Amino acid sequence: MNDKLKTKRPRGAQQIVIADSVPFGDERQRFLDHMLKGGWLPHTVRGYELRLAEIASRIDIMTPGGITDSQIELAADDWEKTPKLNPRTKNPSAHQRKCFIRVAKRWLRFLGLLCERETAPYSNVIRDFEIFLDQERGLAAHSIGMKRNRVRQFLTWLDRCQIKLQDVSIDDVETYLASERPRAWSRVTVSICVESLRSFFRYTAKINLCAKNIAGAIDAPRLYSQTNLPKGPSWTQVKRLISHIGKKQIDIRDRAIIILFALYGLRRSELCTLRLESFDWENEQLVVKRGKLYCEQLYPLAREAGDAVLRYLKEVRPITACRELFLSYTVPFGPLTPNGISSVVQRRLRALGEQLPHFGPHSLRHACATRLINQEFSLKEIGDHLGHRDPKSTLVYAKVDLKALRKVARLDLGGLI
C-alpha cells in the first residue's frame, strides 16, 4: 500500500481493511499511483481505493473485448444490494450509484479496457476519414477536428432522416444545408460546412462508398473579402475587464491569459502552445509558435504580461511534469484545451455585463489590432505583430482607422469639383 494513502482516510473508514482476496490489486494500485502523480489529494485517492475494491470484486476486467456499459450497470446493481466495505455507506443514493459507475469507467479507461460505445452514426467512417485527412492530406489537428464535426452533424441528420450514406444524392445535401436551425447559419458558416462536405464526399468517392459526382456539385455561397468590420471590445473595455478580475487563484491564472491575448493578439491555438520555456526571463523575451506561419516569433516581454505570468507560476500553477504554461484548475491537472481557453475568456467578458458582438478569444485579438491602429502603427507593423501570413489579412483594420479616414474627408481638391 502506498504510504501516502495510509496517512489520511475518509471519515468513518479508519478501521476498514481491504482484503487481500480482492482481485486486480496491481491494476488498482497503478491507477491510484497515477492519481497521486496527477495532483489528487491523498484523502481523495483513499476514497477511490475503497471504491475500486468494490468495483474489482464485481467486474472481471479480463473479459475478452473489454467491459461494456451494461456490465458496469449490472455491477452497480449488485453493489447496491450487498454489504459495503465502508459500513457507514447504507442505502446508497442515486448520486452514489453514478459515482460508482463514473469511477469504474475512469479506471477501465485508464487501463484501456473500457469498451466505448459508438453513439455517432457511421463512427467507423468518420474515424477512417480523420486518418485520411491526417496521413494523406496532412491537415492540422484543428482543421481535421472542424471537418470531423461538420461531417458528424451531417451524418447524424442522415440517420435521423433514415437515409443511407450509400444512397445520398446532391438533393439530400442541399436539403440539409437549407434546413432550419435554432440559430441561422451565416454565409461563412455555410461555406465552411460545404468545404467539409466536399472533402468528405471526395474521400467516400475514392473508397466507392458514395456517388462520385456529389463533391463537385455542392454549391457554396459567394464570400466577399473585407465585408465586415473587426468585432471586438474597445481598449477601454479591455482595461476594465482586466481591472475587474479578482485575486483568487483561478483569477490569477485567468488574468495572465487575458493580458497575453490583449497585448500580443495571440490566436487561441498559439496561447495553448505556450510552454514554460517560451519565456526567456533573463532577456525579457517571449517566443510564440505561430500556427499559420509554421515558425517561431520573438517578442519583447511586456512588464504587465511578465508580472502576471510570474505571479501565476509562483502562486497558482501546480507542480506537475506538464511543460505547457496554462493548466486546468482542478485535478487531474493537465494543459488547458482550446475550448477551455475559450470558456475562460467568454466567462470573463460576459461578466462585464456589456453587449459585445463576440465574447471569444478572437475578439481580444481584434481589440489589440484596433488599439495599434489608433496608435498610428502601419498596417505592415500590425500584420507582423499579429502574425498574418498574407498582408491582405490586415487590410480589414484600415476601415477602423478613423484618424486616417478623417484626413481623407478633409482633403481640399482645390476647386476641381
Annotated active-site positions, please?
267, 292, 362, 365, 388, 397
Please give the distance of CA 375 from its chain centroid, rounded to a whole number: 34
Residues sharing a CB contact under 8 Å with residue 316, sequence separation 6 or more, in sequence order? 249, 250, 252, 253
CB of 238 within 8 A of CB of 342? Answer: no
Q: With CA atoms as reference, report the closest residue to 324 among 301, 300, 340.
A: 340
66 sits in the region (left: phi over 0; alpha: psi -120 to 50; else beta) called left
Instruction: Return the number of other C-beta atoms located less than 10 Å from residue 179's C-beta.
Output: 10
CA–CA dist 351, 342 (Å, integer): 14
Amino acid sitting at position 332: P
CA–CA dist 244, 247 (Å, integer): 10
User: All 3 cell numbers of residue 146?
Assistant: 472542424
Burial class of residue 384, CB neighbours in 10 A (0-12, 13-18, 19+): middle
Amino acid sitting at position 224: Y
